Amino acid sequence: MVLKRWLVGDPLKSTQAAHQRLSKTIALAIFSSNAISSVAYATEEILLVLVLAGTAAIAWSIPVSFAILFLIVILTISYRQIIYEYPDGGGAYVVARNNFGEQPALIGAAALMIDYVLTVAVSVAAGIAALTSAVPSLFEYRVALGLAAIIFMVVINLRGVRESGTFFAFPTYFGVGIIGIMVGIGSVQTFFGQAASLPPINPTTVEELTLFLILRTFAAGCTAVTGMEVVSNSVKAFRPPESRNASATMLHMSLILTALFMGITFLAYHAGIQPKTDETVISQLARLTFGTGALYYSLQIGTMLLLVLAANSAFAAFPQLASILARDGYMPRQMATFGDRLVFSNGIVVLGVIACFLLILFHGDTHALIPLYAIGVFISFTLSQAGMVRQWITKKGSHWRAKLIVNGVGAVTTGIALIIIATTKFTQGAWIVFLLISILVSMFRSIRSHYKAVAEQISLTRDHRPPLPRRNIVVIPINGVNKAVIRAVDYARSRPGEIHAVMVDVDPQSTARIQIQWAQWGCGVNLIALPSPYRSVLKSLLDYIEKILEKEPDIWVTVVIPEILPAHWWQSILHNQRALLLKTALLFTERVILTDVPFHLKR
């Protein structure tokens, strides 16, 4: 408890909730780090595919990056409309539920959840890769470093949304700033023809430069737009006027993303950079632009901070989505519980645990995780845009035709991108995502149908009448006379009614001794000695209780168990074995209620 308070801070009042809203400056840091940080790996993913077709093919990175620029523009415009239409947060789940019904909504929710988990895993892995590019000796500790980063983020997020915002704002702006400086200096150098470039290498051509390969390149580059939906899911976290602030933030984010992504791709092409296994593209570019000095190391640190903090946006979005699903009955209810720091604590912890698991499973390798990444995002993009199309058609409203066209173009564009990504990456791991989505959807459905079944079973209808009063016989099984037993007797007689102390007669001598002691200590309670030909104390007791239940089919039986609780947990093996057996045997007996009366040992 003390540890928890120290780590996450004192509880906050419900009325403080409104004050936890974010200013635009901090919101930009929190929600844009996800999208912007993808510049750290998007260009590299593009080059990694193109290089398969030889050095000449690398020129294709320019048209591909323009295609992605087009995507960014489309997404920015169409998401601004969603932000205004869904001021409570319009994730794919909400939009699809309102316009298409349950099944598409659940698919959207599952896609988003997988996407959030992968955001954490991919961003942390890439952030640690930035660190190990600069300090190769840390390479062998990358999984441990990644886990430490995730645990740190869980703690920070459990502290609550505003504090973590302040905490993350500086590093995000530092990362964006230093990458911006590199792009700026690099552009000036290139413009004046002073830019350094690498000697051309001729890698072995592995594949033909086919249309399929170019589409694969486009699919790889689509990782650049991951995270663009984050702002629209989190409109509620902004200060009023929420929608306007969110929309402005979204625009700023898109501009920064475009500048950095296009800049890096151009510079990398002009410098003739090719992907290497032991160094990231951005690290090579920084070495060429800055030389390996203080600025280079600042850039690596900035990239790392940006990436590790990008994971943080998922820590805001995932618990929010989980809580919406929980409120609708598709997730365990405790996901909707607001913690005492005004955050959905359970969702934060669950996300942290799954991301740690993924990081260990994929050995902290970015390239292994990335093929799984973009699918979920584009499923949710497409569902949101298509949902908006349907909404404009049914709801209409002012300028609905223009808005329909905007979202229509968005839906078609993201839909085509989704098909391209799914087709070209299917065998590389995308199939896992489709499998996981179907598993998650059926999990959502079975949780919901369970809660529905429970509600039907426990709900009171008009046919029911309040129950009539019933008797309650208390049974206290004892095996001796001591303070623990007397405490149980004292408790049992604190409410009037019939009490039977029962003992099992295993050894006549000790039975006689207990009966004598009982006369003094038993508080006047009746003591019954049960015969036990088979020495099974348990069986004799169960038979006795069975008989009481049979005789009066309408009473309660309370079994009051005197239990000795040791001072240390490991001592429990020396105690209460019989109490445990008794409890297990009686747990499913209707009308029998168990009550432990613990006697706490001091040593």
CA distances from 284 to 176, 197, 292, 554 (A): 18, 10, 10, 81
Measuring CA to CA, which residue among 310, 309, 303 is closest to residue 279?
303
**Residue from 3, 13, 278, 401 that binds its own copies (CB under 8 A)?**
13
List, in order, residues 6 or more apart from 122 with CB less than 8 Å away: 41, 366, 369, 370, 373
Nearer to its own copies, 143 or 349 (CB): 349
Q: Which of 102, 163, 279, 340 binds its own copies (CB under 8 A)?
A: 340
Binding piece for its own copies, criterion CB under 8 A, among 38-46, 117-125, 307-315, 521-529: 521-529
> What is the number of other CB atoms lying within 10 angstroms of the CB of residue 519?
10
Q: Is 334 in the site for its own copies (CB under 8 A)?
A: yes
Is 495 a binder of its own copies (CB under 8 A)? yes
Site for its own copies in 172-231 (CB under 8 A): none
Number of residues lying near its own copies (CB under 8 A): 74
Residue of the chain from 204, 458, 550, 553 that contacts its own copies (CB under 8 A)? 458
CB nearer to its own copies: pick between 16 and 438:
16
Strand duo 499-505 + 526-531: pairing: parallel
For 42, 66, 75, 492, the CA distances from 408, given in Å and listed in that order, are: 26, 21, 11, 72
Cβ of residue 573: shortest distance to its own copies, in angstroms?
6
Asked whether position 7 contacts its own copies by CB under 8 A, the answer is no
Furthest CA-CA distance within the chain: 107
Nearer to its own copies, 249 or 532 (CB): 532
The DSSP code sequence of 325-353 is HHHTTSS-GGGG---TTSS-HHHHHHHHH
Interface residue with its own copies, options 192, 520, 553, 569 (CB under 8 A): 520
Length of the chain: 603
Please tell me the distance from the alpha carbon of residue 596 to that of residue 578, in angstroms, as a whole number.
Answer: 13
- Taking the mean position of all CA atoms in its chain, how far away is CA 216? 29
E strand segments, 409-555: 472-477, 499-505, 526-531
Q: Is 490 near its own copies (CB under 8 A)?
A: yes
Strand partners, 528: 502
Taking the C-alpha atoms of residue 264 and residue 270, their distance in angstroms, rounded to an integer, is 10
| Residue 5 makes contact with its own copies by CB under 8 A | no
Stretches 106-114, 415-423, 426-434, 513-521: which one binds its own copies (CB under 8 A)? Answer: 513-521
CA dist 234 and 243 (Å) reads: 10
Q: Which helix (H) or strand (E) holds 100?
A: helix 92-100
Task: Indicate which single residue of 20, 189, 205, 472 sits in contact with its own copies (rule: CB under 8 A).
Answer: 472
Q: Does 70 bind its own copies (CB under 8 A)?
A: no
Closest distance to its own copies from the beta carbon of 536 (Å): 5
CB 130 within 8 A of CB 304: yes
484 near its own copies, rule: CB under 8 A: yes
User: What number of CA atoms fall less than 13 Å from residue 105's CA on the CB side?
Assistant: 18
Task: Tell me if 481 contacts its own copies by CB under 8 A.
Answer: yes
Range 564-603, binding its own copies (CB under 8 A)? 564, 566, 571, 573-575, 577, 587-588, 590, 593-603
Question: Nearer Cβ to its own copies, position 112 or 484?
Answer: 484
Cβ–Cβ < 8 Å for 416, 222: no
Site for its own copies contains 508 (CB under 8 A)? no
Indicate the residue among 408 and 598 with the shorter CB distance to its own copies.
Answer: 598
Interatomic CA distance for residues 31 and 311, integer angstroms: 10
Which range in 47-55, 101-109, 218-226, 330-338 contacts its own copies by CB under 8 A? 330-338
CA 383/CA 101 separation, integer angstroms: 12
Q: Which is nearer to its own copies, 113 or 417 (CB)?
A: 113
Give the shortest CB-173-to-its own copies separation in angstroms: 33
Q: What is the spatial distance between Cα 314 and Cα 168, in angstroms, rounded to a whole number?
A: 13
**Is position 15 an interface residue for its own copies (rule: CB under 8 A)?**
yes
Q: Binding to its own copies (CB under 8 A): which residues in 522-541?
A: 522-523, 533-536, 539
Q: Encoding tokens for residue 603?
A: 């040593």
Contact map string, positions 418 to 457, toward its own copies, x by CB under 8 A: -----------------------------x--xx-xx--x
Give yes or no for residue 20 binding its own copies (CB under 8 A): no
**Under a CB-based contact definition with an 8 Å cutoff, are residues 147 and 360 in contact?**
yes
DSSP letter for 204, please: P
Element (H, E) at 166: helix 161-191
Q: Taking contact as CB under 8 A, which single stretch among the options 242-250, 299-307, 327-335, 408-416 is the one that binds its own copies?
A: 327-335
Q: Which of 4, 5, 327, 333 binds its own copies (CB under 8 A)?
A: 333
Stretch that binds its own copies, among 57-65, 392-400, 427-435, 471-479 (CB under 8 A): 471-479
Q: Which residue from 151, 470, 528, 552 is in contact with its own copies, where contact means CB under 8 A?
A: 470
User: Quick check: 509 binds its own copies (CB under 8 A)?
Assistant: no
208 versus 507: smaller Cβ distance to its own copies: 507
